Homo-oligomer: A and B are copies of this chain.
Amino acid sequence: MVDHMWLEPRTIRQAVCDDTFFIDVAAVGEDARSLRIRKDIAELLQRPCVLNPAVATVLLAVGDVGLRSDEGFVINVVDGRTEIVGTTTRALVYGFYDWLRRRMLGEPVNHVVSEPSQPIRMIDHWDQTDGSVERGYAGESIFFGRWGSNIHCEIGDFPERDASDVFRGDMRRIEDYARYLASVGINAVCLNNVNVRRFAIRLIVRPWIDRVAQIARIFSEFAIKTYLSVNFAAPKLIGGLDTCDPLDPAVNAWWQATVDAIYDAIPDFGGFVVKADSEGEPGPYAYGRTHADGANMFARALQSHGGIVIWRAFVYDCHQDWRDRKLDRAKAAYDNFHDLDGQFADNAILQIKFGPIDFQPSEPLNPLIGAMKRTNLMIEFQIAAEYLGHQIDVNYMLPQWLAAIRTDTGAGDNGVLDTGQYLQQAAVNPALVGYAAVANVGMDDNWTGHKLAQANLYGYGRMCWDQSLSAQTIAREWVSLTFADADTDAQQTITWILDTSNDTYESYAAPLGGGFMVRREDHYGVGINDFEYDRWGTYHYADRDGVGVDRTVATGTGYIGQYATAIAATLENVDTCPDQMLLFFHHVPYSHVLHDGTSVIQHIYDTHFAGVDMVDEYIRRWATLQDRIDDESFANVAERLQRQRRNAIEWRDQINTYFYRMSGIADSQGRLIYR
């Protein structure tokens, strides 16, 4: 049976069993959003909308509330009646689900003033038209693929499929999904993979755009705009042109006609996501044009419709020579985009991954964040656990994400300026900044493969809406909503596992910021040297004396010089560089002493033994939950914890053996390290 995530109908109905509703949208008129709220009240809440506002316990009304954002809302109790008011029906959608969550959590529902931290709060699907999901760990795409199919296989292993209709057609599933996203504040979704290949190239044209429109209409009811990833080479690949030059008039005309037709089918279409000149994808470089030229071509075509183009800054040389220790992939985003600051159109957004590499268990903030001064920016996260355990190992990511975006960008004139504040400061159009994240859902019954991985989807939305929330608060919320029937102790157990899980995974997968020791086939499990002599620019440089990447200005790759002066000074000095990032920034001897008095090699040993110990503790504590939570969730997590344990043991033993063989230094506690 398909899981209800954090919107369990029984829990909802209990919370609102005495409520009646009145919806007043006279100021703007009935629309898809207001109708959707009526429908959800009737069907999901199973409560009535009454005809007389005077007898309603809850009033939802469009009206001026004096907030900066037209998505914001206020909730107040007036004369014993709860009033949820916002200036748009979109605001009412968010207000309605916010109120519902507060009711389910038993929180006070009065004097609430809420507006989103980020104007754009986006989910990117890397779904492919054959039904597979690149970096998908929860089954097939919910948008594409064969009706009823949910084979679990790697991308590329999918059998050939009939391309006459690539859409799955499971509209009920999409409706549920849209509700989950709206309920945590998401307002944008991109349906298809940024690597736009084969059939996906055609999604932007008739008749396929009409099928996209069916999906977009559902998202629209939930105040979510639909976006598509496009292939930069589409004018050649499907347009019959012989160039894709972004300055060529015929190319621009083709895009304009294509965009016009899209808006004909989807009037509130969001825009395009583009990965260009990256990892083999086509782009403007082929025509001697800049990334700004490329992005602005799309921006021009979208502008009159109110659409935007989101241009990914994930551009680097993926054919690096491992021999050259002066090369540094971490520098790529800054090097490729810093000089283009101010050159992007007003409706173009540059989307930057939050770290300089690629969603590793441990990464510093991308130095391009803070360096751009006159550009609309979005920050990209990955809810899909590509490098964070494949939704097999439990890994609640909010602590890492929140730490990243609360890091000083160095862009403040006086004092600390975090990422959220910085985006506003740097924006050309402050409404066009935000966060995006790669989705982690699929056709698995529990949506995310690992039940606890739902917390990341939930948490991402909450973080986008309210950046002041702590990771612990968000975890507690999700656990209370999801395991509403469980006793407090059981809920605390689950919350504790979530809260500690990101550190636990990091403890075995990325000691001291040294990383990319994963298996190259799938990025899961340990493969210490799998990338060490390869072309991807991801090295640890371990030798018999030491380990880590020297990214200093003085003797290394110079990457640290991309940060603001004060930040760079802290990182450059091995004594002030945070230990957690030590091996990311410095190559140090195994005997180097950390701030806690432990040597690097001993830290490696300690964290790897501790990682397995923590997983064992998870298993022990999870076992206590039997019959205290639903059987399906219990079994799902119990099974995944066993797999995580096997994984953590491999990490422990391989890492410890490798570094023991390298260093020859014994564990000070004499624990078992295989030779």
Q: Which residues of A come within 8 Å of B, CB atoms?
A: 156-157, 159-160, 322-323, 325, 521, 526, 528-530, 533, 541-545, 650, 653-654, 657-658, 660-664, 674-675
Given contacts A160-B160, A543-B660, 10 further A-B contacts (CB under 8 A): A323-B657, A530-B530, A533-B654, A533-B657, A543-B662, A543-B664, A544-B544, A544-B662, A544-B664, A662-B662
Q: Are B160 and A675 in contact (CB under 8 A)?
A: no
Can you name 28 A-B residue pairings with CB atoms under 8 Å? A156-B157, A159-B160, A160-B160, A323-B653, A323-B657, A323-B674, A521-B521, A528-B529, A528-B533, A529-B529, A529-B530, A529-B658, A530-B530, A533-B650, A533-B657, A533-B658, A541-B675, A542-B661, A543-B660, A543-B661, A543-B662, A543-B675, A544-B544, A544-B661, A544-B663, A544-B664, A545-B664, A661-B662
Contacts of A661 in B (CB 8 A): 542-544, 662
Contacts of A157 in B (CB 8 A): 156
Chain B min CB distance to A608 (Å): 14
Chain B min CB distance to A673 (Å): 10
Please measure, in the bound complex, the distance between the C-alpha atom of A241 and the C-alpha atom of B657, giving whole angstroms. 48
Contacts of A674 in B (CB 8 A): 322-323
Number of copies: 2
Q: Which residue of B lies closest to A528 (CB)?
A: B529
Please measure, in the bound complex, the distance between the C-alpha atom of A521 and the C-alpha atom of B520, giving whole angstroms. 10
Q: Which residue of B lies closest to A543 (CB)?
A: B661
Contacts of A325 in B (CB 8 A): 675
Interface centre among A528, A533, A653 (most CB of B within 10 A): A533
Please measure, in the bound complex, the distance between the C-alpha atom of A654 and the C-alpha atom of B322, giving whole angstroms. 9
Please measure, in the bound complex, the distance between the C-alpha atom of A544 and the C-alpha atom of B658, giving whole angstroms. 10
Please measure, in the bound complex, the distance between the C-alpha atom of A654 and the C-alpha atom of B533, giving whole angstroms. 7
Which 3 A-B residue pairings sit nearest by Cβ, starting from the closest? Answer: A543-B661, A323-B674, A529-B529
Please measure, in the bound complex, the distance between the C-alpha atom of A507 and the C-alpha atom of B157, giving whole angstroms. 36
Chain B min CB distance to A429 (Å): 46
Interface centre among A544, A662, A663, A664 (most CB of B within 10 A): A544
Contacts of A663 in B (CB 8 A): 544
Q: Are A533 and B544 in contact (CB under 8 A)?
A: no
Contacts of A159 in B (CB 8 A): 160
Q: Which residue of B lies closest to A664 (CB)?
A: B544
Contacts of A530 in B (CB 8 A): 529-530
Chain B min CB distance to A501 (Å): 25
Chain B min CB distance to A24 (Å): 57
